[in-house]
Structures are given as C-alpha cells and as structure tokens.
Chains A and B, each alone.
Chain A
Amino acid sequence: MELETRNLKLETFWSRLRRNRMAVAGLVLVVGLFAVALLAPWLAPYDPNFIDLKQVLMPPSPAHLLGTDTLGRDVLSRVIFGARISLLVGFVAVGIATLIGVLVGALAGYYGGAMDALLMRLVDLMLCFPTLFLILAVIAVLGPSIWNIMVVIGVTGWMGVARLVRAEFLSLREREFVMAVRALGASDARLIWRHLLPNALTPVMVSATLGVAGAILTESALSFLGLGVQPPTPSWGNILTMGKDNIEIAWWLSVFPGLAILVTVMSYNLLGEGIREAVDPRLRD
C-alpha cells in the first residue's frame, strides 16, 4: 500500500516535470554535461595539456574549433576537461553544504527552544558575511587548491538548507504520525532520520540542485582570480584568466569558457526551478 502511493507520487512528479519545457531542457543539458565530463578523454580532440608553440593563439579553425591559447593548447579540449572540474567542485561542495545544513536544521527544528535560538543566530551571523570575502580570507590561510575551495564553498553555503530543514521539521514534528511514532517509544535519532528527514527531503533536493549552480559560479570566479583551481589543470575560470590577459587579441579565450559556465549554471537553475514547481504546483503564481 505504502509502496503504491509512493509510486503514484513519483508518477505525478514525473508527469508534471515533463510538462514543463524549461525543466526538461535543463534536465537534458544536465545529463549531457555529465556525459561530456565522463567521456572527456574520448570527446576531446587533443590532450588538454599538449603544448604546441607553433600554434600559439590561433583563432577558431577546423583544426582547433575553439582556437588555441597562449601555449598553443586546444581550447575545446580544455573546455571539455574543465567540465569535470566544475561538476566535481559543484557536487562535493554542495554535498558538504547539504550535510551541514541538514544537521543544523534538523537539530534546531527538532529540539526547538534554546538550541533553535542559538543555531538560528549562527545562521544569521553567517549570512551577514559577504561570502566571497570570507572564502578569500580562508583561502589566504589554507592556500589555493581544488580541495580547499570545495571545503570552503561547502562550509560557507549551508545556511539556506538549514533554514529549509528547520522550517519543515517545525511543522512536521506537530503532526499525528510523529506523535504516534514517539508514543511507540522510538528514539530521537530514529525519529529524525527515519521519519522526519525523508518527509523534508524535497525542498532540500531543490536547494541542492540550485546550490550546484551557485558552487560552480563561485569556483569559476575563484579560479579566475587565481585563487581556485591552479593551472595547468584546466578549469573554465582559469581559462578565462588567460582570456582577460589577452582580451585585445584573442576573443575566443574569453567567449567560449564563459559560455560553458553560463549554460551549465542555467541548466541547473532551470532543473531546480522545474523540480520545485513539479513538487508544489501552487508556486506557479
């Protein structure tokens, strides 16, 4: 019986999502980007780090579809391999943020009272910091590397999830089924993990999808500033640094990696909004 209602829910969710053309476009693009990242070694026409000093700063041509950079490396291959970095950073950072957010939100929403007040003040406090300034300060201490920025983006981005989970928990814990489970003598931990959290997962899913977009934007900005992924590892942000240094002579170095970021971020945003509307159609104004 329970399984059946769950299947029915999933079916209505899918049919609603499918009717939203923007969301479908987002989903297709997200899946496509995953494929590009996974198949990068087979899709890229050249080794992304192959230096060819006879082919420096060549504009787009049949041999190099997106041109070459200042070391003669193929920009298309670097953009394709850059997709791996973006997705890796996006998912790990959001994973960290979601984990912290769920934990803080669950504790605050479940126990309420002083615990809630304390944790929510912490959330307010973190929201007060211009995130980029905080991230840069931490990077200054830890040094720039792909692992550090994943951790730092995650640790500075959990506040939204915490608020969402807390709000869900506050309303859920008053419901009859929670009282029933509690009357049966379930422990707090079991109640939180087995009964409350599964019911609060949809807003978390939406916020995580949108969070991937945000994390990819932050990573590219940090790499662009020279404080994120370090060359020669190709990332969309650090290709754009080269674009900025050669802005008057090589437009292709600035245009294509930026386009890749724009399309990626937009497809996650579209998918996230689509899931949100499919879960709660009232949100469609």
Chain B
Amino acid sequence: MWLYLSKRLLFMVPMLIGITLVSFAVIHLAPGTPVEMQTTMNPKASLEAQKRLIELYGLDKPLPVQYWDWLKRMSRLDFGRSFSPDRRPVWDKIKERIGITLGLNLLSLIIIMAVAVPLGVLAAYRAHSWFDKGTTLLVFFGFAMPSFWLALLLIMFFGVYLDWLPLSGLTSLGYSQLSWWRKLQDLGAHVTLPVLGAAFLGLAGMSRYMRGSMLEVIRQDYITTARAKGLPEGAVIFKHALRNALLPVITMLGLSLPGLIGGSVIFETIFAIPGMGQLLWGAVMARDYPVVMGELVIVAFLTLLGNLLADVSYALVDPRIRTG
C-alpha cells in the first residue's frame, strides 16, 4: 500500500507541473503584453497596478525564468493582490470562501451517492422493466437539463410560488444573534435548493454508471454460484454483487469532480452564495486577473487531489490494484 501511495504521489508531480504550465499559458495568451491588454481594458488598473503586474509576472525576463519565478510564488501561495478596490491578497480572498464551496459540493456528493447507488442497483436488477425505463427517461432529462435553468425553476417554484425557502444568500439577516439550533436551520434552508440542484444533475450520470457496472457484475459466474449454493437474494445482491460493482463507481466519483466544482460557478452566482464560484464570476466580469489565475490553480489542484483520493480508496478496497 505504501509503495502504491508513494508511486501515486510521485505521479502527481508532473501533473502539477502540467497544470501550472497550462495556467501560465493562459496568462500569456493575450496578444501583446498582458499588462498593456489588462490596463487598456480595465480602467480600474492604474499605473501602479500595471507596475505591480509587471513585477508579479516579471514580464521583462525571459519566459522560462518568468515561469520559474511564478512557480516559486505559487508554492508560497502568493498569488499577488486583487485589482478590486480592497486590494487584498488573492489567497486571503480564496481562503475565506474555499470552505463554503467544498462543503456544498461534499453535501451534493453525499446526496448523489445516497440516491444514485440504490437507483442504479434496482434499475440493473430489474433491467428493461418499467422502473428501469422510467429511470432511463430521468437520466436523459438530467443530461439535457441546463444547470442554471434548473436553478431558476427551483427558485420559481419553492422560493416564489410556494414561498417555502429563501431565494438567495447563505444566511438570513440577524443570523449572528440566532441560537446554534436556529443557525443550523437557517443555513439548512438556504443551502437546500443549491445542493439539491447540483445533486440532481450529478445524479443522472452516476445512476447510469452504477446500473452499467451492476449489470456487468450480475452476469458473472460467481453470482450464479452464490445463488446456486442457496444464498438469500439480498445477500447475493448486496454482499457479493454490490461490493464489486461499486469499484468503478469510485473512480467515476473522482472523474466527476471537475464537473461538480465547475457547476459551483453557476449555482453560487444564481443563489448569491459567497463561495469560490461567485468569486471567480465576479473576477472575470471585472477582469481581476490575479484572482482568476489564483482560482484556476487552486481548483485544478483540488481536482487532482480528489482524483488521488478516489484512486487510493479504490486501492484500499481492491487488492488487485496494489499488486499490479
């Protein structure tokens, strides 16, 4: 196991270099020098800001030197200062929002797994039944549904028409005076719609994947053996089949992370949730380059970490991976 883990960690190094190279390339994408471009298009960038950018990116030096300097700054989490009037360090801005975005994504992930696994198992077990066809239809809707439209419909129905849940934000006014129980209730009411929305979209792919994986396992000889030796059906499905069918789903979970995190831009913008997605949207709108670049690097790194976690947990449950 330790050998496997260290091998995986070693593999992460070239990936990280690649990620920073792509991010670095985006900075240098603009025709002409980025500073010129940024200052002509952004009235907020003063002469001083221009100097700061040249300093941050070291634009007078040769490219490899620029990259190396930039990399050294990144490793110290020095992403420069924001262009916005508050001029705060980018890392400070990201730090206070990262927990919110990760928390919401984790919640949706839990809901996705809690619903998709039983749904997929049942659809595979009763393949080609009405239940299976119904979930297939649901999956097609899930794949075609624009996330922001789903959010709008949820707001319209539960927020405006029924008036059950708050329309936006993470907390109500006067939140700090509430007791901890009321605080939890208030927070819960605010995150219900965004979390449910994100979960519904992830659900389609995951339940489909669970179904496919389960169908494959059910056809295996050892399942027939388990049935032949007279095991109760529940034990066959949940103890013998599900365990093996879950393996590829774990990998899929890691691969679905980019989509989920990308979705936070949309959900956080619509529901006015102060997370990383909303920060990115605001930064793109205001051409706040240091913030945009900082976000790109951090989010790519988080995704890489998520993939690593998925692979490691895969190896933990499946001994075949470790020997291989």
Contact = CB atoms under 8 A, between A and B. Distances in A.
Interface in A241-259: 243-244, 247-248, 251, 254-255, 258
Which applies to chain B's interface (DSSP): helix, strand, loop or mixed? helix
Nearest to B257: A130
Interface in A99-145: 121-122, 124-134, 136-143
A240 B262 contact: no
B155 interface: yes
Contacts of A243: 152
B196 to A, nearest CB: 17
B26 to A, nearest CB: 5
A269 B266 CA distance: 22
Given A125-B15, A125-B19, 7 more contacts: A128-B19, A129-B300, A130-B303, A136-B265, A142-B29, A258-B146, A269-B140
Interface in A73-115: none
Contacts of B303: 128-130
B296 A266 contact: no
B216 to A, nearest CB: 10
A45 to B, nearest CB: 24
B175 interface: no
Contacts of B263: 132
Interface of A: 121-122, 124-134, 136-143, 213, 217, 220-221, 224-227, 240, 243-244, 247-248, 251, 254-255, 258, 261-263, 265-266, 269-270, 285
16 contacts: A128-B258, A128-B303, A130-B258, A130-B259, A140-B284, A141-B26, A141-B34, A220-B146, A224-B148, A224-B266, A225-B266, A240-B149, A247-B156, A248-B160, A258-B146, A266-B144
A262 B149 contact: yes
B281 A225 contact: yes
Contacts of A227: 284-285
Contacts, number: 147
Those 3 A-B pairs whose CB atoms lie nearest each other, nearest first:
A132-B262, A258-B149, A266-B144
B293 to A, nearest CB: 7
Nearest to A224: B148
Given A248-B160, A269-B144, A139 B284 contact: yes
Nearest to A270: B140
A251 B160 CA distance: 10
Nearest to B293: A137
Contacts of B149: 240, 254, 258, 261-262
Contacts of B63: none
Contacts of A263: 144
Given A125-B22, A136-B281, A137-B296, A254 B140 contact: no
A240 B152 CA distance: 9
A137 to B, nearest CB: 5
Nearest to B137: A22
Given A121-B14, A140-B284, A143-B41, A130 B148 contact: no
Contacts of A134: 22, 26, 296
A139 to B, nearest CB: 6
B18 A140 contact: no
Contacts of B255: 127
A213 B18 CA distance: 29
Interface string B121-154: 0000001100000000000110111111100110
A164 B160 CA distance: 46
A262 B144 contact: yes
Contact of A217 (B146, B160, B269, B300): B146
